[in-house]
Structure 1
Amino acid sequence: MNKTPLTFRPYFLPISFQLDRRFPLAIALLVVLTLGAMIISLGVGEFFMPPLEILQTLLGLNDNGDASFVLLTLRLPRILVAWLVGMGLAIAGTIIQSLTRNPLAEPGIIGINSGAALAAVSLLIIFPSVSATILPFAAFGGALVVTVLIYLMAWQGGSSPLRLILVGIGFNLVAAALTNLLVTFGNINQVSQALVWLAGSVYGRGWEQAIALLPWLLGGSAAAWLMSKELNGFNLGDDLARGLGISIEIRRALLILTSTALAGASVATAGSISFVGLIAPHIARQWVGNVHQSLLPTAALTGGCLVVAADLVGRILFAPLELPCGIITAILGAPYFLYLLIKKR
């Protein structure tokens, strides 16, 4: 009797640790692209700086006080914040896509970003003098509340990826409506600040924001990496993952919590920068495949490069006016989302 071999759809992943041969090349390429975008971003602006002067200033060999102030106080922390935010959103998006087994899912679509934005905008409008170190905790709290509500409402003897997405879309709309309500009735000064923040921008971000975001990114990235094999298992489906010994509900809850922390802290720092969590994982999959041990770092570097490049484009496109990087990512992401929607049927 002939036995038909068991086959899986291409989106499914192996459990074993198996790095793609293209992984080192992809990482090297992303590092070069990111450093190139950073160097250009450090140099362009009203105060132009050539690469050699940038290097001398970074090494402390330049006695020009204006150059040091512009580079080390204004531009460098802003670029680092953009890089960290992009990585956080990309890792969060990779986790959500794997948990839901849906290539169109990302924290912004299922309500996590909206919950973080609602909490952060509430804090900005009600307590305008709040410290930058407090804002990530507030955003994480808002994202966590929405995530718990989504998880509870999607629970029917277990958590279904499809129910999580559908309930998340509903909470996304509710949180966005409440945010708009706060903006409508807030003080004009606080509302202006909140609107700029909602557009998604790293303008004016300094070392305080970069230092506040760093531990959230390090902790979330480490947690995602430690559970990368479980993420591989989730893409096999709940039944097969359970048969492989994965505690489905516990691991899913921990991974959702990790994604919530990364997305919440990123949104609190730079506002609602949309579609990075959608685009970066797909680009990374094209380069290194679907194994999360290589996918997670590749997606993280891709997301960081995307936001740094988007901020650079926003600065030079209509200079001296600046477009928020969230607008640039939305211009790129919306058509890409429609393309994926048609391609994935």
Structure 2
Amino acid sequence: MIRRARALDGRSVLRLGNGFQIRLHNLAAALALGLACLALAALAVSIGAQEVGLADLLRSLTGEPLDPASAYALWTVRLPRIVVGFLAGWAVALSGAVLQSLARNPLADPGLFGLNQGSMVAIMLLLVFLPAAPREIVPLAALLGGLGVGLLLIWLVGGARSGGLAILLMGLAVETVLSAITSILILYTPPETSYGLSAWLAGSLFQASWSGAAAFAPWFAVGVIGIAVFGRSLAVYDLGTDMARAIGEPVTRSRPVIFVFAVLMSSTAVSAVGPLTFLGVLAPHLAAFVSPATGRARLVLSSLMGGALVIAADGLLRGLPSTMALPIGLAITLVGVPLFMITLRLRTLRRLQAP
């Protein structure tokens, strides 16, 4: 049974029979972001050198054949990029939102914790020393590298006895060391390998494919399900570790498990498209500006925002002249950072005008 009620702050909510409630403004924001993702995807289908668009996609779905060039541009290039980009944006934004709650720091990000660096170093070592290794094991290498850094952080900070600041500072230290290793690998590998690694480190959807999406999807599903199950605890962690422990949250067990799932999401995204710089910070803050939320609602809104930003950035890239080939990470910066600055400015003005 679902009924409309009011929360303690006076806002309207939909309350289920088991006590679970959904704030109407969060639900409206999620629907709006979902529609925005669909609109951006429809627009992205039509962007590119080959003149093919949404109408051709609909005709193809009804069984009408397309010419080979249009079919290749649509089904082999554009649609895989949209799907992989959306999943990767969702994963990075979700990981960033989780880490911000665990660390109680609005700037927490998979890159700041060294998780991205761990995945990148593992992949780079694989590509440099085992270049003939099958590409199917690249996601596994990224996962092992990210999980290795995550487990190292959990061990170094002493589990539940430490706060989020300790995890953040230790993550910065680990990230610095791994960045040095990355620089050494780029400097002292052959020029062609170094160039390829440098391009990949900036984030890229150039090699997106249906096989890559199929390899990404199972890990993505495991991470989303795991965080959905334990996401309710994140609203408690926003109050602080001591408060969470005082109201009965099993911090010793839940925080490492949530942390591992966050690592899983960021690692799989790195293996698919490379690091998406700043997205883990950017998407949760933009989502919070659209509709302030806590717990699982915040995770859903942040994830949708991350997917929308990546689709928009990729569409921007493909709309540029063909002689310009920017990595997706730089495009996200060009699209997202101005929005982030405008958001912060509007927040400041809103606070100054508040009575």
TM-score normalized with structure 2 length: 0.86
Gaps spanning 5+ residues in structure 1: where? Answer: 1-15
Distance 1:95 1:337, change over 3 A: farther
Gaps spanning 5+ residues in structure 2: where? Answer: 1-18, 349-355
Which residue pairs with 1:12 in the alignment? none
Q: What are the superposed Cα offsets for residues 27-57 of structure 1, whole Å, 9 maximum, x if unpaired?
A: 2221222122212222221111133112212
Residues 19 and 293 in structure 1, CA contact (< 8 A), matched pair in contact too? no
Q: Look up the SS of the partner of 1:19 in the other structure.
A: strand
| Greater relative contact order structure (CA < 8 Å, 6+ sep) | 1
Which residue pairs with 2:233 in the alignment? 230
2:261 matched to 1:258?
yes
2:184 matched to 1:181?
yes
Which residue pairs with 1:169 in the alignment? 172
Q: Give the AA of the match of 1:154.
A: V
Q: Look up the SS of the partner of 1:80 in the other structure.
A: helix
Residues 125 and 187 in structure 1, CA contact (< 8 A), matched pair in contact too? no
- Which of the residues 186, 198, 201 maps onto 1:195? 198
- Which of the residues 85, 94, 98 maps onto 2:97? 94
- Which of the residues 41, 45, 59 maps onto 1:42? 45
Q: Distance in 2 between matches of 1:157 and 1:82?
A: 35
- Pairs within 5 Å for 1:57-72: 57-72=60-75
Residues 90 and 281 in structure 1, CA contact (< 8 A), matched pair in contact too? yes
Q: Distance in 2 between matches of 1:155 and 1:332?
A: 39
- Which of the residues 151, 154, 172 maps onto 2:154? 151
Q: Give the AA of the match of 2:214.
A: I
Q: Give the AA of the match of 2:39.
A: G
Deviation of 1:266 after TM superposition, in Å, equals 0.3
Distance 1:338 1:47, change over 3 A: closer
Which residue pairs with 1:56 in the alignment? 59
2:124 matched to 1:121?
yes
- Which of the residues 292, 298, 301 maps onto 2:301? 298
RMSD of Structure 2 on Structure 1 (CA) = 2.5
2:204 matched to 1:206?
no
Q: Give the AA of the match of 1:192.
A: Y
Distance 1:331 1:46, change over 3 A: closer
Identity of aligned residues (%): 30
Q: What are the superposed Cα offsets for residues 281-319 of structure 1, whole Å, 9 maximum, x if unpaired?
A: 112222332322211121111111111111111222343
2:25 matched to 1:19?
no
Q: Give the AA of the match of 1:317.
A: L
TM-score normalized with structure 1 length: 0.89
